[in-house]
């Protein structure tokens, strides 16, 4: 990788921590722990099984669950699919109504769409202007037929945090299954499933310095939640998810979560400081808008709309910085970010948005460099922008009759 590239896209994925990589290495070669954890007849299998169970404990410890409540999957997408489709199909005799929000990850929205095709009724709630789904809004839309509510813990574009404690209390009282996509949360916010009334929670390995291709689903035992499996086969993971367990991936995720439990406070303090510094540096730029709210977001994600500049051109101008944008031009669909639109942001501000996300390996030097570069290129791109001219001339862009194509 080019050494002058700065990685500010930790919300997309994280590099594997060196300590994680070393543990994974131990589970690959002939002289390592390569056995099939399901092999009951020899030492190779027993050793692999032991490593898998140790990793399961690490994952469970981070979120204060019982390790028997952790089911390995291929990632948070599979966990979301298993939770939503699995619960809906198992409990379909109770009702056919599901509530989620418009700013969920596609890994939640798309399974919901699939369930609609199967005859379920889905309500997609609007978040408030900061990306938070309120309990009041949920209550307004609950029906007698509601069997499942799926709300994310931390939004991946904004870093906005939902109050899953409050929502959980309500769903538990009303005997509704509550699923939480927590792909962005681990190692960033403490999670205590021994206290939370959450029935199902999705986790990802690679958002927390573990490897890609591994995730987990928490399936509550008290009260016991049941699911219809998506993948059938050898009956692994108590029938929830068949398929030979990838020891090296699991061990990697386990180690990553063990480190997260140990170092969460240290990581968070550092990242909060860097995020403050970054905002202090860039907030002097005219006509920028923070998407989300400082009051209720994790510092790891700073999502800013730079008015009168298109996000993809800003990404191109920030050429040595890896960030992502809500601009249509960076998506295959040519649609601007559905998350920002759901907040009520105008399309042009969605097009102008950049998500900067920081992580364990971000340095102060990088933050200063990226802030400086951002200030410079925003100025440069505005010099190129007819909209900036018009804004400076006092033209009301809302009132212009645009020639669309």
Partner 1 sequence: MYSRKVIQKFEETLNNPQAHNVGRMDAQAKNVGTGMVGAPACGDVMRLQIEVNDKEVITDCKFKTYGCGSAIASSQQMIEMLIGKTLEEAKNIKDREIAEILELPSIKIHCSVLAEDSIKKAIADYESKKA
Contact 92, 288 (CB under 8 A): no
Distance CA 18, CA 34 (A): 20
Contact 105, 81 (CB under 8 A): no
Q: Please identify, among the stretches 82-90, 191-199, 276-284, 385-393, the one whose residues bind partner 1 according to the rule CB under 8 A.
A: 385-393
Q: Which residues contact 183 (CB under 8 A, 6 or more apart)?
A: 76, 105, 107, 152, 156, 202, 203, 204, 207, 215
Quick one: 17 or 310, whose CB is closer to partner 1? 310
Q: Is 277 in the site for partner 1 (CB under 8 A)?
A: no
- For partner 1, which residue of 63, 82, 99, 328 counts as binding (CB under 8 A)? 328
Contact 196, 153 (CB under 8 A): no
Q: Is 402 in the site for partner 1 (CB under 8 A)?
A: yes
- For partner 1, which residue of 203, 209, 218, 308 counts as binding (CB under 8 A)? 308
Q: Which residues contact 247 (CB under 8 A, 6 or more apart)?
A: 27, 33, 34, 35, 37, 48, 51, 52
Q: Is 13 in the site for partner 1 (CB under 8 A)?
A: no
Name residue, tokens 């202090």.
280
Q: Kindly determine how many residues on this chain lie close enough to bind partner 1 according to the rule CB under 8 A.
A: 33
- For partner 1, which residue of 163, 263, 312, 366 counts as binding (CB under 8 A)? 312
Cα maximum dimension of the chain:
79
Quick one: 297 or 382, whose CB is closer to partner 1? 382
Q: Is 334 in the site for partner 1 (CB under 8 A)?
A: yes
CB burial class (10 A; 0-12, 13-18, 19+) of residue 36?
Answer: middle
The angle subtended at Cα 96 by Cα 93 and Cα 102, nearest 5°, is: 150
- For partner 1, which residue of 313, 324, 337, 357 counts as binding (CB under 8 A)? 313
Smallest separation (angstroms) from partner 1 to the CB of 317? 6
Q: Please identify, among the stretches 146-154, 170-178, 309-317, 360-368, the one whose residues bind partner 1 according to the rule CB under 8 A.
A: 309-317
- For partner 1, which residue of 128, 346, 368, 373 counts as binding (CB under 8 A)? 346
In sign, the C-alpha dihedral spanning 325, 330, 335, 338 is negative
- For partner 1, which residue of 310, 345, 357, 362 counts as binding (CB under 8 A)? 310
The tokens describing 263, both together, are: 């170092």
Q: Is 12 in the site for partner 1 (CB under 8 A)?
A: no
Q: Is 337 in the site for partner 1 (CB under 8 A)?
A: no
- For partner 1, which residue of 57, 261, 329, 369 counts as binding (CB under 8 A)? 329
Quick one: 173 or 393, whose CB is closer to partner 1? 393
Quick one: 10 or 388, whose CB is closer to partner 1? 388
Query: 353: part of which helix (H) or strand (E)?
Result: strand 353-357
Q: Which residues contact 284 (CB under 8 A, 6 or more apart)?
A: 375
> Pattern 359-378, binding to partner 1, x per CB under 8 A?
------------------x-
The end-to-end CA distance of the chain, in Å, is 39
Kindly state the DSSP code that residue 336 receives in the 8-state scheme: P
Q: Is 384 in the site for partner 1 (CB under 8 A)?
A: yes
Smallest separation (angstroms) from partner 1 to the CB of 64? 44
The angle subtended at Cα 91 by Cα 225 and Cα 201, nearest 5°, is: 40
Quick one: 72 or 388, whose CB is closer to partner 1? 388
Q: Which residues are catalytic?
A: 329
What is the chain's Cα-based Rg?
Answer: 22
Smallest separation (angstroms) from partner 1 to the CB of 324? 14
Q: Is 285 in the site for partner 1 (CB under 8 A)?
A: no
Q: Is 385 in the site for partner 1 (CB under 8 A)?
A: yes
Contacts to partner 1 by CB under 8 A: 308-310, 312-313, 316-317, 319, 327-329, 332, 334, 336, 346-348, 351, 377, 380-381, 383-389, 397, 402-405
């Amino acid at each position: 990788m080019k050494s002058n590239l700065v990685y500010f896209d930790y919300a997309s994925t994280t590099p594997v921590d060196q300590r994680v990589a070393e543990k994974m290495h131990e589970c690959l070669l002939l002289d390592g722990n390569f056995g099939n954890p399901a092999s009951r007849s020899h030492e190779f299998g027993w050793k692999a099984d032991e490593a898998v169970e140790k990793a399961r404990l690490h994952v469970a410890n981070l979120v204060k669950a019982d390790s028997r409540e952790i089911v390995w999957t291929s990632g948070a997408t599979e966990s979301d699919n298993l939770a939503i489709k699995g619960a809906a199909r198992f409990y379909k005799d109770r009702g056919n109504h599901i509530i989620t929000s418009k700013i969920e990850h596609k890994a939640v929205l798309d399974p919901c769409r699939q369930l609609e095709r199967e005859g379920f009724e889905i309500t997609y709630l609007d978040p408030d202007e900061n990306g938070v789904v309120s309990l009041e809004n949920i209550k307004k839309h609950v029906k007698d037929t509601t069997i499942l509510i799926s709300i994310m813990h931390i939004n991946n574009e904004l870093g906005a945090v939902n109050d899953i404690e409050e929502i959980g209390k309500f769903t538990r009282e009303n005997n509704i299954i509550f699923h939480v996509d927590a792909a962005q949360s681990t190692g960033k916010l403490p999670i205590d499933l021994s206290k939370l009334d959450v029935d199902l929670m999705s986790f990802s390995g690679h958002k927390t310095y573990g490897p890609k291709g591994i995730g987990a689903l928490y399936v509550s035992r008290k009260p016991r939640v049941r699911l219809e499996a998506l993948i059938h086969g050898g009956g692994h993971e108590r029938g929830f998810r068949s398929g030979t367990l990838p020891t090296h991936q699991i061990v990697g995720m386990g180690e990553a979560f063990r480190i997260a439990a140990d170092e969460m406070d240290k990581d968070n303090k550092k990242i909060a400081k860097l995020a403050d510094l970054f905002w202090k540096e860039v907030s002097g730029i005219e006509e920028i808008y923070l998407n989300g709210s400082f009051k209720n977001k994790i510092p790891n994600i700073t999502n800013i709309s730079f008015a009168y500049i298109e996000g993809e051109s800003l990404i191109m101008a920030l050429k040595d910085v890896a960030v992502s944008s809500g601009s249509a031009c960076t998506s295959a669909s040519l649609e601007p970010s559905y998350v920002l639109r759901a907040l009520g942001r105008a399309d042009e501000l969605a097009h102008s948005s950049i998500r900067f996300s920081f992580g364990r390996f971000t340095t102060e030097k990088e933050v200063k460099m990226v802030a400086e570069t951002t200030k410079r290129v925003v100025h440069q791109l505005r010099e190129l922008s007819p909209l900036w001219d018009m804004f400076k001339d006092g033209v009301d862009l809302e009132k212009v009759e645009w020639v669309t194509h």
